[in-house]
Amino acid sequence: MPSHHLPLLLAAYQHKFGRDVEAMSRHLIDDVAVGWDELGTDLLDGAPPTLVAELTGGEHWPSRTLDHLITPDGSPPVRMTVTDETADAQDIQWGYVLHQQGIEVISLLHEDIGPLVDWAIDPRTAFNDHPAAWSSLDLAPAIRASRSTPPPSAPAASPARAGAPRPATRR
């Protein structure tokens, strides 16, 4: 869901990967054998402790890959590739595409493309989780701007429009 993944990905880009989308792509895509089970707070390495606390509520958990899968026939697992044909079978509801200018968020339940969220957006911005809100024709739907002052290295951008209140942080 955008309210969980976008803050981690934005903060990771701004801090852990030093605004280097290629380094981030290598870590999240190229260096993973099969896929991700969960993105963790290790993506926040290098971020200010106050930002980490605001994004996680003080919790810490590791990212986990799907490297230890056992297939029904005993063959080695293969990299998860999401296409229009496989998205339904894999029960994937959200897609995130890394671009030089931002991260594209796709609600796979509604569209094949989505709006672009600028990399400079404050990771503390709350994002709407309703799939219909993520239309490729609109700006990225933020629920509200951050309540805190953004870190100097990550200027805040204005939210696109209002929506429902943000749910509690969850993994």
Q: Which residues is 97 bridged to in the sheet? A: 104
- Burial (Cβ within 10 Å: 0-12, 13-18, ≥19) of residue 139: middle
**What is the pLDDT confidence band of residue 145, given thresholds at 50, 70 and 90?**
low
Judged against a pLDDT cut of 70, whether residue 157 lies above it is answered with no
The lowest-confidence range among 56-65, 71-80, 138-147 is: 138-147
8 near 37, Cβ under 8 Å?
A: no
Q: Report the SS3 class of residue 73.
A: coil
- Residue-wise pLDDT tens digits, 84-123: 677 777 778 888 999 999 999 998 877 778 999 999 999 9
Q: How many CA atoms lie within 13 A of 121 on its CB side?
A: 29
More reliable by pLDDT, 170 or 81: 81
| Nearest-10 crossing angle of helices 49-56, 2-11 | 170
The lowest-confidence range among 78-87, 120-129, 162-171 is: 162-171
pLDDT at residue 54 in the model: 96
pTM of the model: 0.77
- Residue-wise pLDDT tens digits, 17-67: 999 999 999 999 999 888 888 999 999 999 999 999 999 999 999 999 987
- Burial (Cβ within 10 Å: 0-12, 13-18, ≥19) of residue 120: middle
Q: What type of residue is 15?
A: H
Judged against a pLDDT cut of 80, whether residue 171 lies above it is answered with no
pLDDT at residue 75 in the model: 84
